[in-house]
């Protein structure tokens, strides 16, 4: 069963309310990096040693460039994980919002979306057409 226009508008309002509840969010992904340092005598250079790390980094694009940030504390890492999870939820909700808006656009009658100027033009066109 297709939803009515008022039902679709209520659904849109509910999605917008959920977006407002998201709080802070940001894009990017968190990766872990392990590696070896530059000190030849360090344990990381010994055979079967895993190296230093894992060190976690947030990577994201800003103006077409890849930016990478490291975290000073485990709390900063957890905060970034929450913000990125909220961003993923934002993208899901944005997709839902787009789908509902497209349904609203299809369901709304053309007459309801005309500007006052367009309504005047439509009335005068109908009047001229009826005279003939």
pLDDT for residue 49: 84
DSSP 8-state symbol, 34: E
pLDDT for residue 123: 65
Reading the block at residue 80, the tokens are 């970034």
Q: Are the C-beta atoms of 35 and 51 separated by less than 8 Å?
A: yes
pTM: 0.71
pLDDT for residue 40: 86
Q: Which residues contact 27 (CB under 8 A, 6 or more apart)?
A: 60, 61, 84, 87
pLDDT for residue 36: 86
pLDDT for residue 113: 65
Give the mean pLDDT of the chain. 88
What residues of the chain score a pLDDT lower than 50? none
Helix axes 5-20, 74-107, angle to 10 degrees: 160
Count the Cβ atoms, other than its own, within 10 Å of residue 20: 8
């Amino acid at each position: 069963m297709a939803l009515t226009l008022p039902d679709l508008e209520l659904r849109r309002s509910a999605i917008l309310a959920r977006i407002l509840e998201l709080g802070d969010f940001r894009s990017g992904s968190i990766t872990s990096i392990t590696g070896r340092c530059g000190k030849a005598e360090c344990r990381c250079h010994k055979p079967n040693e895993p190296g230093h790390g894992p060190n976690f980094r947030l990577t994201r694009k800003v103006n077409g460039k890849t930016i990478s940030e490291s975290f000073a504390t485990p709390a900063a890492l957890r905060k970034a994980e929450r913000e990125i999870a909220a961003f993923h939820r934002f993208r899901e909700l944005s997709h839902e919002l787009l789908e509902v808006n497209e349904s609203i656009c299809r369901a709304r009658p053309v007459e309801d979306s005309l500007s006052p100027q367009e309504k005047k033009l439509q009335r005068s066109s109908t009047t001229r057409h009826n005279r003939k």
